[in-house]
């Protein structure tokens, strides 16, 4: 079959496997997913907003790490927040924040010192520059995915399994990834979260001689795509900057994708 593995982080590494053929690429997403360059961003520690989901009545359900008072936003919370903004009209396709009071998300948007912000929880806010950072990060990864599929001659709907790797990726929600457009909508229902695969892979490489030999053989067959040399990357990157519109209902029609509990123990 066709499997796509993506490690979402500062660098978005991805490998596409098709019946033994392997295609690989890496894209520089930047530090936004780690809470860096975000006005209220912070690492994943007590008090970091890690979950933000809009309820049926329009009020947000906000969860922080350790259930501590909100004092910042970590990567998973950041993707949730911007994903909900995109899904419920809080931002337009170009990522511009809606006017205060406009639409479902508008009642949580206000002006502070002539700066339009989303009030997340307490004194924790998200502004236009923060959304721009998310745009840049998600566009880099989405452009990499699109070009990797194109290079292999595979349509997005032909990918049968998508594996989201990394300890950060394990804490993300399918809905947020789809609402942002970081992943194509056709991936819904095919996504698995597999945890810290780099750690389990390193353990296998060091402790199992057979696996060691197999890995040495496999890497010689990987076809690497250097995105910096791809003439279409800039065009794909610009196209991926836009946000999908009104996709939350579609995303939420799919059950929560599978999370590999064995792998999750590694982060």
For 92-101, what is the mean pLDDT? Answer: 88
The rounded distance, in Å, linking the Cα atoms of 121 and 142 is 29
User: If you average pLDDT over every residue of the chain, what do you get?
Assistant: 88
- Does residue 254 have a pLDDT over 80? no
pLDDT band at 57 (very low <50, low <70, confident <90, very high): confident
- Of 92-96, 111-115, 212-216, 240-244, the range with the lowest mean pLDDT is 111-115
- Tens digit of each residue's pLDDT (9 = 90 or more) over 106-130: 788 888 888 889 999 999 999 999 9
User: What's the whole-number mean pLDDT along residues 142-163?
Assistant: 94
E strands, the chain, in order: 2-7, 11-18, 21-28, 48-54, 60-64, 72-73, 109-112, 115-121, 124-127, 161-165, 191-195, 222-224, 258-259
> For residues 81-112, b (16+ Cβ closer than 10 Å) or e, as one string?
bbbbbbbbbbbeeebebbeeeeebbbebbeee
Is the pLDDT assigned to residue 175 strictly greater than 90?
yes
3-state secondary structure of 123: coil
Residues contacting residue 137 through CB under 8 Å, at least 6 positions apart: 29, 30, 32, 33
Using an 8 Å Cβ cutoff, are 74 and 48 in contact? yes
pLDDT of residue 251: 44
What phi and psi, each to the nearest 5 degrees, are found at residue 201? -65, -40
Q: Are strands 11-18 and 21-28 parallel, antiparallel or unpaired?
A: antiparallel
Output the six-digit token pair for 89: 């009209």
Across 36-181, where does the E strand assignment appear? Answer: 48-54, 60-64, 72-73, 109-112, 115-121, 124-127, 161-165
242 vs 86: CA distance, rounded Å: 10
Mean pLDDT calculated for residue range 257-261: 56
- 101 pLDDT more than 80: no
Residues 6+ apart with CB under 8 A from 35: 41, 42, 43, 44, 48, 72, 73, 74, 75, 78
**CB neighbourhood size of 219 (10 A):** 11
pLDDT (mean) for 220-246: 89
Question: Is the pLDDT at 247 greater than 80, yes or no?
Answer: no
């Amino acid at each position: 079959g066709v499997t796509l593995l993506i490690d979402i982080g500062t660098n978005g590494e991805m490998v596409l496997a098709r019946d033994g053929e392997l295609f690989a690429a890496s894209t520089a997403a930047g530090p936004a997913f780690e809470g860096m360059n975000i006005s209220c961003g912070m690492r994943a520690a007590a008090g970091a907003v890690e979950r933000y989901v809009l309820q049926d009545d329009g009020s947000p359900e906000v969860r922080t790490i350790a259930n501590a008072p909100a004092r910042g936003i970590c990567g998973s919370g950041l993707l949730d927040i911007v994903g909900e903004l995109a899904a419920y009209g809080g931002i337009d396709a170009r990522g511009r924040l809606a006017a205060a009071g406009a639409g479902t998300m508008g009642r949580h948007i206000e002006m502070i010192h002539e700066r339009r912000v989303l009030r997340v929880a307490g004194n924790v806010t998200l502004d236009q520059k923060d959304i721009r950072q998310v745009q840049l990060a998600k566009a880099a990864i989405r452009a990499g995915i699109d070009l990797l599929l194109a290079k292999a001659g595979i349509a997005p709907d032909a990918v049968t399994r998508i594996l989201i790797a990394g300890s950060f990726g394990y804490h993300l929600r399918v809905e947020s990834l789809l609402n942002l457009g970081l992943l194509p909508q056709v991936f819904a229902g095919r996504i698995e979260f597999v945890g810290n695969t780099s750690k389990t892979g390193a353990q296998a490489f060091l402790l199992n001689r057979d696996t060691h030999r197999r890995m040495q053989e496999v890497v010689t067959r990987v076809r690497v795509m250097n995105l910096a040399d791809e003439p279409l990357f800039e065009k794909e990157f610009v196209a991926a900057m836009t946000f999908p519109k009104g996709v939350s209902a579609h995303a939420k029609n799919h059950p929560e994708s599978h999370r590999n509990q064995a792998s999750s123990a590694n982060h």
